[in-house]
Chain A
Amino acid sequence: MNAVVIVGAGFAGLGAAVRLKQAGIDDFVVLERGHEVGGTWRDNTYPGAACDIPSLLYSYSFAPNPDWSRAYSGGVEIFGYIRGVVERFELEPHIRFGADVEDLAFDEAAGTWTARTADGRSFTARAVVMAPGPLANAGLPDIPGVDLFEGHTMHSARWDHDYDLKGKRVAVIGTGSSGVQLIPGLVREAASVKVFQRTPGWVLPRLDYRRPDWSKRLFRRVPAAQAATRRAWYLGHEVIALGLVWDTVFTSMVQRVSKAYLRAAVKDPWMRRQLTPDFRPGCKRMLMTSEYYPALQRDNCKLITWPIARLSPNGIRTADGIEHEVDCVVFATGFDICKTGTPFPIRGRGGRELAAEWSRGAKAYKSVSVSGYPNLFFTFGPNSGPGHNSALVYMEAQIDYAVQGIRLILDRGLSALDVKAGSQERYNQRMQQRLRRTTWNSGCKSWYLTEDGYNATMYPGFATQYARQLAKLDLTDYSADAPPHH
């Protein structure tokens, strides 16, 4: 038995591992279904993969990297950073690769969780940190005939690097964050690229630049300077919440800037109309790219906005009756996000099943704890999603909160640290009330909402507010059971 099991060796799981170690808790294992760490950044290796948050802010404050090569470093470098964290904090011995958790159950009498993996192993621990990642599973679109296509297919999150794109006719389905990042590279490489767009997004140019050597030297010598710069980026993004979380005058400003950019970057008025969203900025994620619009207008690229009717053996048929013959279809269709279930069965007190309780939309207390599932801590749980700031800021708050809870469980020998149902209920009522005033819940459709329009993903506020509520674990909201005396 271990003190702690962490599920997932992506950013969140490894961050939790680091913080546990720093809190003096060494008795933990990290279960990883793959054979490499890095999660989203291991999987998303398509050309052009990058993060739309500056690297100084999209990295752990407790594991600073002075050497980021660019303001917005690419996926390869981010992946390298994650591997660097594993090395720096000697996490490798804790990680169990190929451990695909299929079932997680709480034993009330023993006060332990047991995780069973697909290959028959089982891991028991006093506490569990769930870090399976919100964007871990590739999402395929619901298009008729998707399995009829006889050419090559790949998903942006499962890029096939062995497939040579030179001279190929490629179709890209989807123009979200992944799509707009990979299209410029494809246009450079393939013979022709057809971009199938259902909904255009608001685009802002990304002001990326190569970081000068003196700034790397400065950060290496004066870590406080890096911390201060990170802080500045952080506050800069906090301000953006005013435009993206709520519909305000700042939203109109963002919209005007984005429209002006579109006008400047795209010559043809009809194409501009095709690329103009009919929702308010913030409703869906902003697209940060300076390369997308120019790529769309290259001679070998074509934007197609007709609805896709079906896939055929040779290509894609659109509703205007035309079949687009291609050699390869790239699905940049995003991820399957668990909004109404769990990635694998999780059974809590009295055998209750979390997926059943979450079938109408996930609910938790401060996104981390769920009543009836003691000693279990979620990263990126319900209503923890950032729309405007670095996911890692949120993640750090969740991890530190979990470490506090685990410390309590271990120090006091608790068999169950369980959030009270009433506290969770009150928290969610407040959450949903506040969500009603946000842009996401103002009638727009996005992956943030369930089919019924319930918002179980986003946090309605500033990152600062989110982190502050998690700064201290308040025991009055929990019931803490000591093990029965023998």
Chain B
Amino acid sequence: MYDFDGMLQKIKDRQWALADVDWGAPGAEAITEAQRPKLRAFMADLVWIENIGARGFAAMAKKAPSETLRQIYVYFHAEEQRHANAELALMRRWGMLEDGEVPEPNVNVRLAIEWLDRYSDDMPLSILGTVIPMLEVALDGALVKFLLDEVHDPVCHEVFQKINADESRHLAVDFQVLDLIGHAPARRLLIQTVGSAASPGVLLGALMYIPLLNKMRDNIVAMGLKEERLYAAMRRFTSVGERGEGTRRVITYQVLKRHAAMVIDRGHPYHRLADFMVRASDHYPRRLLRRTPAWAKELTHEPVAR
């Protein structure tokens, strides 16, 4: 059995704060003028992906099968927010943000925020529990590694060392839970998945997720990252997932795995659809976007709230 109680205690013991970091320390000049604009867009994406992940964990806390797991998700929710805040603080350090400024989310992120706000609390754990590790592995894994290769600011490295330590705990729990879900009777898995797959929430979720991923890829490529890095990270999702006997029985996992295989295969006709969706979403009428929910307005680069 997994020791979730031990994990919760470890999480509580390893808390860190923005105030632990010396944001004024030398090294900010390592950012070149050439890097700056693209790095800004890249960091902005990263911040929002963390915020989206945070909201996902908030939804999972409501579904947690035990009190300990619920508490773990409550922490993960906060920790993803912490990562977003820390990344904002880096942007501020690099002179990319005005005082109190938070970068605007792109339209795909806006759609993701809308979707999360509306549907995430109604999603079953098996769907949330698969999509979240995918986002964490793919985006965090690939993006962060790339960032550390490109950026030579020691503070940046210090911050991401902390973030990575958190993320490794997130992933450990993510995959354990996925395996746990998979050990439920097949009948229940099927009913749950079919029942919710037919919902507009999942359909819209897919419509949101597909272009989000390809948009991220485009931004990464624009930064000079080989898209192979992203695909390697996605492959890791599958390779870790396959280790869990239960995980393989989770239908959402199988779907996401197949999807990941298509994403990785650049020649797959899937990309024609996905790229079309990215272009289409650029034309998504802004007035149809709903007001940004309060949870997406909580981000801050200020280590101390006075």
A271–B305 CB distance below 8 A? no
**A320 at the binding interface (Cβ < 8 Å):** yes
Once the chains bind, are A309 and B17 in contact (CB under 8 Å)? yes
Within B285-306, which residues are at the interface with A (CB < 8 Å)? 293-295, 298, 300, 302-306
B176 CB-CB contact with A under 8 Å: no
Do B18 and A321 touch across chains, with their CB atoms under 8 A apart?
yes
- Residue A118, interface by CB 8 Å: no
Interface residues of A in 299-320 (CB under 8 A from B): 306-307, 309-310, 312, 314-315, 317-320
Are A323 and B18 interface neighbours, CB within 8 A?
yes
C-alpha gap A317/B21 in the complex (Å): 14
Q: Are A321 and B81 within 8 A (Cβ)?
A: yes
| In the assembled complex, A270 has its CB within 8 A of some CB on chain B | yes
Question: Which one of B34-42, B71-79, B129-137, B206-214 is at the A interface?
Answer: B71-79
A269 at interface by CB-CB < 8 Å: yes
A360 close to B (CB within 8 Å): no
Does B67 reach chain A (CB closer than 8 Å)? yes
Assess whether A322 is interfacial by the CB under 8 Å rule.
yes
Q: Is A321 within 8 A of B17, CB to CB?
A: yes
From residue B68, how far is it (CB to closest CB) to chain A in Å? Answer: 11
Which residues of chain A have C-beta atoms less than 8 A from B295's C-beta? 270
Chain A interface, number of residues (Cβ within 8 angstroms): 25
A278 at the interface (CB under 8 A from B): yes
A310 to B16, CA, bound (A): 9
How far apart sit A268 and B79, CA to CA, in the bound complex (Å)? 23
Interface pair A309/B15, CB less than 8 Å apart: yes
Is the beta-carbon distance between B85 and A322 smaller than 8 angstroms? yes
Q: Give the distance to chain A from B41, nearest Cβ to Cβ, in Å.
A: 23
Contact B17 A307, beta carbon cutoff 8 Å = no
Residue among A169, A271, A309, A319 having the largest count of chain B Cβ atoms under 10 Å: A319
Query: In the complex where A306-B81, A321-B81, A321-B303 touch, is A278 in contact with B62 (Cβ < 8 A)?
Result: yes
Q: Cα distance A323–B117 when bound, in Å?
A: 27
A278 and B298 alpha carbons, distance in the complex (Å):
23
A325 is an interface residue with CB less than 8 A from chain B: yes
Cβ of A436 under 8 Å from chain B: no
Q: Is the interface of A mostly helix, strand, loop or mixed?
A: mixed
Using Cβ atoms and an 8 Å threshold, which residues of chain B touch A271? 294
Q: Given contacts A269-B293, A321-B16, is CB(A307)–CB(B82) below 8 Å?
A: no
A321 pairs with B304, CB closer than 8 A: no
Q: With A and B bound together, what is the CA distance between A144 and B16 in angstroms?
A: 12
Contact with B along A323-354 (1 / 0, CB 8 A): 11100000000000000000000000000000
B70-98 contacts to A, CB under 8 A, are: 74-75, 78-79, 81-82, 85-86
Cβ of A324 and Cβ of B86 under 8 Å apart?
no
Asked whether, in the complex, the Cβ of B303 is within 8 Å of the Cβ of A322, the reply is yes
* B304 pairs with A322, CB closer than 8 A: yes
Asked if B198 is at the interface (CB within 8 A of a chain A CB), the reply is: no
Are A317 and B74 neighbours in the complex by a CB distance under 8 Å? Answer: no
B19 at the interface (CB under 8 A from A): yes
List B contacts of A437 (CB < 8 A). none
**Within the complex, what minimum Cβ distance (angstroms) separates B20 from chain A?**
9
Question: Who on chain B is nearest to A443 by CB?
Answer: B67
Please tell me which one of the listed residues A270, A307, A322, A325 contacts residue B18 in the complex, with CB atoms under 8 A apart: A322
On whether the beta carbons of A445 and B67 are closer than 8 Å, the reply is yes
What CA separation (Å) do A144 and B13 show in the bound complex?
9
Q: Which of B1-48 contact A (CB under 8 A)?
A: 12, 15-19
Cβ contact of A320, chosen from B12, B62, B78, B117, cutoff 8 A? B78
Contact present for B17 and A323 (CB under 8 Å): yes
Question: With contacts A270-B295, A319-B82 known, is A307 near B74, CB below 8 A?
Answer: yes
Shortest beta-carbon distance, B217 to chain A, in Å?
29
In the assembled complex, which residues on chain B have CB atoms less than 8 Å from the CB atom of A318?
A: 78
Q: Which of B198-242 contact A (CB under 8 A)?
A: none
- CB neighbors of A among B165-207 (8 A): none
Contacts of A269 in B (CB 8 A): 117, 293-294
How far is B62's CA from A165's CA once the two chains are assembled, in angstroms?
A: 37
Minimum CB–CB distance for B147 against chain A, Å: 18
Chain B residues near A169 (CB-CB < 8 A): 306
* Closest chain B CB from A261 CB (angstroms): 20
A324 and B12 alpha carbons, distance in the complex (Å): 18
By a CB distance below 8 angstroms, the chain A residues around B294 are: 268-271
A170 → B minimal CB distance (Å): 13
In the bound assembly, the distance between CA atoms of A196 and B303 in angstroms comes to 18
7 tightest Cβ-Cβ pairs between the two chains A and B:
A321-B82, A319-B78, A309-B15, A270-B294, A320-B81, A306-B78, A321-B18
Where the two chains meet, the residues of B that have a C-beta atom closer than 8 Å to any C-beta of A are 12, 15-19, 62, 67, 74-75, 78-79, 81-82, 85-86, 117, 121, 293-295, 298, 300, 302-306
A-B contact pairs, 11 of them (CB 8 A): A270-B293, A270-B295, A307-B78, A319-B82, A320-B78, A322-B17, A322-B300, A322-B305, A323-B303, A323-B304, A445-B67
Q: A169-B306, A321-B17, A321-B82 are in contact. List 7 more A-B contacts (CB 8 A).
A: A309-B12, A320-B81, A322-B302, A322-B305, A323-B304, A325-B304, A445-B67
